[in-house]
Structure 1
Amino acid sequence: MKYVHFSYQQQQHIGIALDDVIVPISALQPFVDSSLTLPVHMDDLWSQHGLHTQLQHILEQHTTELLAQAIAEQDIEWLPVIPSPGKLICIGLNYRRHAEETKAPIPQTPVVFSKFSDVVAGHLQSVTLPQASTQVDYEAELCIVIGQQASQVSTEEALDYVFGYCAANDVSARDLQMLTSQWLLGKTCPNFAPIGPYLVTADEVGDPNQLQISAYLNGEQVQHSNTSDMIFDCRYIIHYLSQHMTLNPGDIILTGTPEGVILGKPKEERVWLKSGDEVTIEIEKLGRLTNTFVSAK
């Protein structure tokens, strides 16, 4: 299923995306038995064992009635699909051709850094260009959403701990990023982690390392690859991180970006993001995430 987090008539909701409409979770209430509590917040999706399966069953059995209460996508305000991740972990230089374009050595172990969790943004939300930077870049990324606590997990079992996946843009202020050996400053400006528009459950995605991934700048394709080009695949990333920290439900992992970022171009060809630019991240099975960049007021 595809879950969404949205605002409608000044109230926040969780919903299920069906084609181009959204069914609010609250619409399922008449069909719920006493053993099931409908989720109110996104975090509630992984708090009850078997909840996803039960919601899916209700949806299949009562599709006609539920569609009668659906809301058109164009009528909602999209919110970050994970509004308050416990941890927002990023993997750097994780696509072979991206490492090559930036003339960086191929990592022998995952490059791990973080963004602060309060920089998540939603689909169609604007991203303000920071006053302290003149070199803001896009990065199309696959986002893993953890669904159960993971510590010391094996590579073989790693994907069992995933609730779902979504598209992400690891927005980066390159001049701030490269000021020191620590990348954080250029990665965690406000709204520098758009995620969404959907949280697609793992059962619907299948193999996360066989997905087409692209970015478009003002309608022109600037990144195009496949998650199979990852140096460290999703299984290994979860396994590796779980050896060093505990991953909790609601934590998210941005898994790296393919070639085609502005930083990878020759210096004379780099045109950094400017006010009015629109960036769309598209990942197979996960939809299209679009954000517009605006100048700081």
Structure 2
Amino acid sequence: MKLVHYQLKHPYTHGRIGVVEKDTVIDLHATQQELLKQQKLPSDSVIIPADPRLFFQRAKVHIKEAEALMVQMKNHTTSHVFKRDEVILETPSANPSKIICVGTNYADHVKEMGSELPEHPVLFAKFHNALIGPEDAIYKASATEKLDYEVELAVVIGETATKVSEEAALDYVAGYAIGNDISARDLQKRTSQWLQGKSLDHTTPVGPWLVTTSELPDPSNLSIKSYVNGELRQSSNTEHLIFDIPHLISFISNLMTLEPGDIILTGTPDGVGFALNPSQFLNDGDSVTLEIEQIGTLTNRVVSS
């Protein structure tokens, strides 16, 4: 199942939770209300929230409810279906408490950046100000001349995880999306701490939807690519992660509690603009397309801000 956080264009609506099927978006809350009415059951028994923030507070529970609803709808019809061009897609996890990023997690990327293979996952943070949706523009701030792209598999946590084992780690995942860990290399590298180059306003698209674990149970062998203006820049596979997804979830949850809706950006492969000869950074008007097998594509345009 592909979950989306969407808004209607006309009339405008606040963000709601839906499911993508082919070229349509189905509203979960309204569809459940409609089904209950068809079955002559009280509508106040609706249990799937309309608000994405409430949905992700109990993501694993509500995903199961949504999957059951979609099975029921095979024998029913709903009027709460919208064409893709009638909606705007937002970041699937509407208000994550944490955006945790993993650096130097593909060996070839470690080599091209002149770094050493890490003994432990290299963690840093982004903040909510950086997060944007799949249809938003990436801002190129005047503070940087070296804005770079990084395709990454994004993991969204589905229930509270504290000190979980690697064996149990994937049980805590709501699903997977595509993330672009946009980096201002000049700001990132002027100090030993990366934060200032990693959390500029309006720079980190995540989307276009969340593919739930029932549809994507194993993230360990997925093709991962990036393109700038149609030119292939990065091409690898998640099988080449130095620290795989179960290890990352276990490692992080033994340091801090992961909460539903939290996002983990798991690292980028080689081929970033900084490491090309000569380096090639993003400029106003550039189009960046990211592609991960079994998830889809994410395309954002760069604009000067």
Q: Same fold (TM over 0.5)?
A: yes
Q: Partner of 1:11: helix, strand, or coil?
A: coil
Residue 14 (structure 1) shift: 1.4
Which residue of 21, 25, 32 corresponds with 1:22?
A: 25
Residue 120 (structure 1) shift: 0.9
Which residue of 258, 274, 289 corresponds with 2:298?
A: 289
Matched to 1:145, the amino acid is: V
- Contiguous gaps of at least 5 residues in structure 1: none
Assess if the C-alpha contact under 8 Å between 1:139 and 1:171 holds in 2.
Answer: yes
Measured in 1, the distance between the counterparts of 2:121 and 2:176 equals 20
Assess if the C-alpha contact under 8 Å between 1:140 and 1:168 holds in 2.
Answer: yes
Q: Partner of 2:97: helix, strand, or coil?
A: coil
Give the match for residue 35 of structure 2.
Answer: 31
Assess if the C-alpha contact under 8 Å between 1:79 and 1:122 holds in 2.
Answer: yes
Which residue of 117, 121, 134 corresponds with 1:110?
A: 121
Measured in 2, the distance between the counterparts of 1:294 and 1:64 equals 46
% identity of equivalent residues = 39
Measured in 2, the distance between the counterparts of 1:278 and 1:54 equals 37
Assess if the C-alpha contact under 8 Å between 2:59 and 2:261 holds in 1.
Answer: no
Task: Tell me whether 34-43 or 116-125 shows the greater mean CA deviation.
Answer: 34-43
Assess if the C-alpha contact under 8 Å between 2:148 and 2:185 holds in 1.
Answer: yes
Query: Structure 1 residue runs of 4+, over 6 Å off?
Result: none
Alignment of structure 1 residues 1-297 onto 2, 5 Å: 1-8=1-8, 9=10, 10-12=12-14, 13-25=16-28, 26-32=30-36, 35-46=45-56, 47=58, 50-63=61-74, 65-66=76-77, 68-266=79-277, 269-296=278-305
Matched to 2:17, the amino acid is: I
Q: Partner of 1:166: helix, strand, or coil?
A: strand
Measured in 2, the distance between the counterparts of 1:253 and 1:204 equals 19
Assess if the C-alpha contact under 8 Å between 1:84 and 1:118 holds in 2.
Answer: no
Give the RMSD, CA atoms, in angstroms: 1.6
Pair 66,188 (structure 1): closer, same or farther in 2 beyond 3 Å: farther
Q: Partner of 1:143: helix, strand, or coil?
A: strand
Pair 125,106 (structure 1): closer, same or farther in 2 beyond 3 Å: same
Assess if the C-alpha contact under 8 Å between 2:48 and 2:65 holds in 1.
Answer: no
Residue 62 (structure 1) shift: 1.7
Pair 49,153 (structure 1): closer, same or farther in 2 beyond 3 Å: closer
Deviation digits for residues 225-268 of structure 1 (CA, Å, limit 9, x no counterpart):
111110000000000001111111111100000111011223xx
Deviation digits for residues 173-194 of structure 1 (CA, Å, limit 9, x no counterpart):
0000001011010110112210
Q: Partner of 2:289: helix, strand, or coil?
A: strand
Q: Partner of 1:62: helix, strand, or coil?
A: helix
Assess if the C-alpha contact under 8 Å between 1:96 and 1:106 holds in 2.
Answer: yes
The count of corresponding residues between Structure 1 and Structure 2 is 294
Deviation digits for residues 128-175 of structure 1 (CA, Å, limit 9, x no counterpart):
101010000000001111111111111111111111110000000000
